[in-house]
Structure 1
Amino acid sequence: MTAIPQPDQPPIQPSMEWANAVSTCPSLEGAVKEVVEQLKGRLSAPPDLGLVFISSSFTSEFARLLPLLQSLLPLPTLVGCSGGGIVGTDAEGQPQELEDIPGFSLTVARLPGVAVRSFHLSNDDLPDLDSPPAAWSELIGMAPQQNPQFILMADPLSSNVNDLLQGLDFAYPSGVKIGGLAGIDGFNRHSGLFCDRTLHTEGIVGVALAGPLVLDTIVAQGCRPIGPVYQVDQAERNILISLGTGDGDEARPPLELLQELFETLPEGDRKLAQSSLFIGVAQDSFKLSLDQGDFLIRTLLGVDPKLGAIAVGDRLRPGQRVQFHLRDAHTSALDLEKLLQRYQHQSPDATPVGALMFACVGRGEGLYNQANFDSSLFAQYLPGLPLGGFFCGGEIGPVGQTTFLHGFTSVFGICRQP
């Protein structure tokens, strides 16, 4: 009997693997050896990528880190930075946020079929913002058709992160970009940026990942809305001059509307508004019903009592929708929990292998009066995931289809196979 030809089956893709280890040893040699020892046997084959985060308290020893680490665990691609605190997963699989003690965290990943490209960029390397997408893809070394995902770390004093994010969004509009601004040593004012076998003290380091890999994001800005949604009627650069309600009423100065809103708030919110009032800018012009994660949160920089205008920490344009927001520890916790619940509901069949956390130095124990809060809440909804990262001076993550530099935010990148 003649066998019936069977259609070609695609080859089974080897599984992606991800592991993290963390050490609190105050000796650099001891910390690196402890972490490498913990990672032994955690992957079925040598890793393709390493992500390293180290406390700024090790600043004087940054130059020794990469040679020491590569001698014990050779990594073909390695990027990372110093942090104001370190995030890792201990030997019992529990997340740890190390804020006031020395910390060293190393994530290693085996990424079958994924193209991995590390890079270091200075401001002089960045194309002009009116350059074509090809200028950016030549810089990164990946074509837009490859749809790479990006993990980025930058020196807060010498890098133009906003220009980089605009350029990457332009060249790779569907690629996810996450990361943060590196921690700075308070005495020397230096940050450490690591790329393969080289230590840098300025610019931006990162890695582009293209292939069978998905990087889901949770961007928890820690705010809740108050009052109605307004529409920007007049604005000049970052100065908000007048707002409309969208119901045909005449546009009015924002300070006047804010004062009326203040009178309607409960006592607790009134006190909170005196120190933790923000404004959210909707990122989707067409969405009718706006939810908490649809707003980009920006600071209020000042007011003009005569004109009733408000200065905002971003450019505004007429037609945008805005809403005032409040932030405190309770609100931050509820915001993150709501976003985790939404992710769990929207991705019930997702099987992530690992995650990264980039949290503002203004969060952590100083905000919650409790250690490991954000990471532990994350672990409740996504248990067993190796988690690494650091506390930043600014967090990189998307809101809508655009990538922004945030403050007071926790950005999670969740890695999984398609």
Structure 2
Amino acid sequence: MDHAMREPKSSSQTKSEPRAPRTGLALINDDLLHIILSRLPASSFASAACVNKSWNQLCNCILLSRPKLASALSLNPSPTIAVQEVLDEVLSEPIRPHFAIANIGSGFGLMDASLLITKRLGSRTPLIVSTASGIIGRDALTNEFKEVKWGDTGGHSDDEVGHAVAEAVNNGIVLSVGFVPGLKVDAIPLLRLIKEPRVSMVDKFVMDIKDYTASVSGCMSPVGIIMFGDKLVDMKPIVDVLDYAMPSETIIVGDERGRFLYRSGNESRNVRGNTKYLSDAVALVFARDKEKSDGIGDIQFHIALSNGLSAVGPVHKAVSVRDNCSDLTTWLTARREGQFEVLDGQRILDDINDELENHIETPDLYIGVTKRRKCCIGSQKPRLITSLAFHGVIGGDEEYLYVNGVNIKTGDYFQFYCSDPNAALSSCIEASLNLKSLKLDENPNNCHHVAVNNTKKEVFGGFIFSCYGRGESFFGHHNIDSSPFRENFPGVPLAGLFCGGEIGRGFSSLIGESNKECSAHCCLHVYSTVYLVMSYTSASPEH
């Protein structure tokens, strides 16, 4: 190797001096070297890029050819072994990590998993590790696709590290590592003061996202955001503000309620252990790179939705409303739209149960409240926005109807919704048909593409955020939630989780008509599956 990598002779050497014969790696032409390097695992590939300038340029050409998402799942009960298995798989081919997302069972510690992953990927790679009620992906050892649903994410609510174990069987991890040339990525937290007033700093959160996006792209509109919220925080007003502040083309997806740790590429944003702040949520922000190299195409985010709710009964109007902020619940009475009689909670539920008498099993009940609220950022002039928010029904008595969540006001209109596997299955079929519009002809290399103006477009990865109430127990069949993506893009890397509230915001042609019936905009869903699909359009060739 030393002989093969010898520095070229200087110009002072005579032309008559005989050349040393080419041996070893010096005999390998660029095409063959390209093939060898492209088959190296990530760590060996990184070492090869440091051999010399020529190898580094060749490695960059391999990496810059297209974006990549690598993902793997492990159910090994040992956290150390499970993390090792998924890391070995996602790093088995060349990749330069721009971000990483790990979703784990409650039997694994957040800090332990974070440290093990950071050790392999490096501290400069933005990383989010979150607990989940289940994980979705391909097994690192068998390549079998799995949807694994557990129970409660567990752990003590004040245990930031997350060592507490809810159930011994909640062991597993799905890890995704992405390389997205043409984009910049970082993790930006939603901070909360530890001392009074203990409120989320939402305006700062939005401005931090906008400022970061502006610094790397020259505009203030990110391509997409993947969010994870804390289970003790009401994310509805926070997501409403994001929805108000971000342009329609910005896709926002994520898990509304969980537990997480994160690491930002900017050390000043890492507040764990800080005596002043805690993090209530974290956003993985994807922004266009204003300094992207020539020849790099464009990455787009697309969103699709499978809904699992059916509307029940007439529209009601809230009459008397009481917030119980101590446990984040609301007590209310209501009247049917167009009638004057005020109904207590028991009467309301009796009427709804009459509507549900043909249901074989008792479904989960929600009220979908249409809310018109003023919203603003900083010193901006407030304006009204209309949104649809779902609140789980707790029960009712001869005084009130009790529901989860707050911010319901007198005069708000609402309708009851129930979980419905038949509606969900029909919606999955519709989601698959909608994703088919992105499905492109498959070449022999299993690459989905279409030629448009001499460019190539391909789907290179996706994420799924599915309600923990769905899965095999809901449908009676396994792997239904992931089927719309897998049917259209077989072999394309896919990862996901079962979560406690699905964030899905985006104005997309992939949102089916059945999800557009209500005029109010909905960003936080229940009994749904949100699909994030990432596509890449290659740059137009120069003429």
Aligned pair partner of 2:335 in 237, 242, 245: 242
Q: Please show how residues 159-170 of structure 1 align to structure 2 within 5 Å.
A: 159-170=233-244
Deviation at 1:168, TM superposition (A): 2.3
CA deviations 1:105-145 (Å, max 9, x no partner) are: 1111111110212123332297656x5xx772236633463
Matched, 1:398 2:505: yes
Partner of 2:132: 83
Deviation at 1:180, TM superposition (A): 1.1
Q: Please show how residues 199-238 of structure 1 align to structure 2 within 5 Å.
A: 203=279, 204-211=281-288, 212-227=298-313, 230=315, 232=317, 236=321
Partner of 2:367: 279
CA contact (8 A) 1:169 1:403 kept: no
Change (3 A) 1:147 1:329: same
Q: Secondary structure at the match of 1:142?
A: helix
Change (3 A) 1:70 1:233: closer
CA deviations 1:272-293 (Å, max 9, x no partner) are: 4x55333334689xxxxxxxxx
Aligned pair partner of 2:68 in 14, 17, 20: 17
Partner of 2:119: 71
Partner of 1:137: 207
Aligned pair partner of 1:26 in 77, 102, 106: 77
Q: Secondary structure at the match of 1:58?
A: coil
Matched, 1:195 2:283: no
Distance 2:128 2:351 in 1: 50
Change (3 A) 1:383 1:199: farther
Aligned pair partner of 1:412 in 506, 515, 531: 531
Matched, 1:268 2:358: yes
CA contact (8 A) 1:224 1:335 kept: no
CA contact (8 A) 1:80 1:153 kept: no
CA deviations 1:89-118 (Å, max 9, x no partner) are: 235655312334521211111111102121
Partner of 2:171: 102
Aligned pair partner of 1:299 in 387, 392, 397: 392
Name the aligned partner's letter for residue 365 of structure 2.
Answer: L
CA contact (8 A) 2:462 2:532 kept: yes
CA deviations 1:165-208 (Å, max 9, x no partner) are: 2332233243222111565xxxxxxx442325879596323310
Deviation at 1:310, TM superposition (A): 4.5
Partner of 2:11: none
Unpaired stretches in structure 1, ≥5 consecutive residues: 1-12, 184-190, 285-293
Partner of 1:8: none
Q: Secondary structure at the match of 2:207?
A: helix
Q: Secondary structure at the match of 1:72?
A: helix
Name the aligned partner's letter for residue 83 of structure 1.
Answer: A
Distance 1:242 1:225 in 2: 17
Change (3 A) 1:299 1:182: closer
Change (3 A) 1:172 1:304: same
Partner of 1:326: 418
CA contact (8 A) 1:234 1:243 kept: no
Distance 1:163 1:148 in 2: 22
Q: Please show how residues 282-361 of structure 1 align to structure 2 within 5 Å.
A: 297-303=390-396, 305=398, 310-313=401-404, 315-316=407-408, 322-344=414-436, 347=438, 351-361=458-468
Deviation at 1:153, TM superposition (A): 1.6
- TM-score normalized by structure 2? 0.57
CA contact (8 A) 1:231 1:318 kept: no
Partner of 2:182: 113
CA contact (8 A) 2:192 2:201 kept: no
Partner of 1:38: 89
Change (3 A) 1:257 1:352: same
Report the number of matched residues. 372
CA contact (8 A) 2:318 2:414 kept: no
Q: Secondary structure at the match of 1:25?
A: coil
Distance 1:196 1:330 in 2: 42
Name the aligned partner's letter for residue 101 of structure 2.
Answer: L
Deviation at 1:243, TM superposition (A): 3.1
Q: Secondary structure at the match of 2:76?
A: coil
Change (3 A) 1:376 1:259: same
CA contact (8 A) 2:188 2:208 kept: no
Structural RMSD (CA): 3.9
Change (3 A) 1:181 1:57: farther
Q: Secondary structure at the match of 2:66?
A: coil
CA contact (8 A) 1:127 1:136 kept: no
Q: Secondary structure at the match of 2:220?
A: helix
Name the aligned partner's letter for residue 112 of structure 1.
Answer: P
Deviation at 1:300, TM superposition (A): 2.9
Name the aligned partner's letter for residue 287 of structure 2.
Answer: A
Q: Secondary structure at the match of 2:432?
A: helix
Distance 2:312 2:205 in 1: 43
Distance 2:230 2:389 in 1: 23
